[in-house]
Amino acid sequence: MSTTPAEPHGGGHGLLWVLLLVAIGFAVARPLAPLAYVHLVDWQTIGALAGLLIITQGVEQSGMLQAAAARLLSRTTELRHLVYLLTASAALLSALVTNDVSLFLLVPLTRVLAAQAHLPLARLVVLEALAVNAGSALTPIGNPQNLFLWHRSGESFVGFMGMMAPTVALMLFWLFAAIRFLVPRAPIMLKAAGDAVPMQPRLLALSGLLFVGFVIALDRHWLAAGLGVVLGAFLLLRPRVLVGVDWALLAIIALMFIDLRQLAELPAVAALLGHWPIGEGWRAYLAAIVTSQFISNVPAAILLERYVHDLPALAAGVSVGGFGCVLGSLANLIALRLAKVPHGLREFHRICIPFLLVCAASALLLRLG
167-177 in b/e form (b: 16+ CB < 10 A) is bbebbbebbbe
Which pLDDT score is estimated for 113?
Answer: 93
59-86 CB burial, b ≥16 within 10 A, e <16: bbbbbbbbeebbebbeebeebbebbbeb
What span, in angstroms and rounded, lies between the C-alpha atoms of 302 and 299? 5
What DSSP letter does each residue of 76-106 carry, written as one string? --BHHHHHHHHHHHHHHHHHHH-HHHHHHHH
Instruction: Kindly tell me if the per-residue pLDDT of 332 is higher than 60.
Output: yes
* Beta bridge pairs of residue 117: 190
CA distance 278 to 310: 9
**Residue at 11: amino acid letter:** G
Average pLDDT of the segment spanning 99-124:
91
| Separation between Cα atoms, residue 158 and residue 52, nearest integer Å | 29
Q: Which residues pair with 294 in a beta bridge?
A: none
Mean pLDDT for all residues in the chain: 88
Residue 361: per-residue pLDDT: 95
Confidence of residue 299 (pLDDT cuts 50, 70, 90): confident
pTM score, whole prediction: 0.81
Enumerate residues 6+ apart whose C-beta is below 8 A from 137. Answer: 143, 146, 164, 167, 168, 171, 315, 319, 322
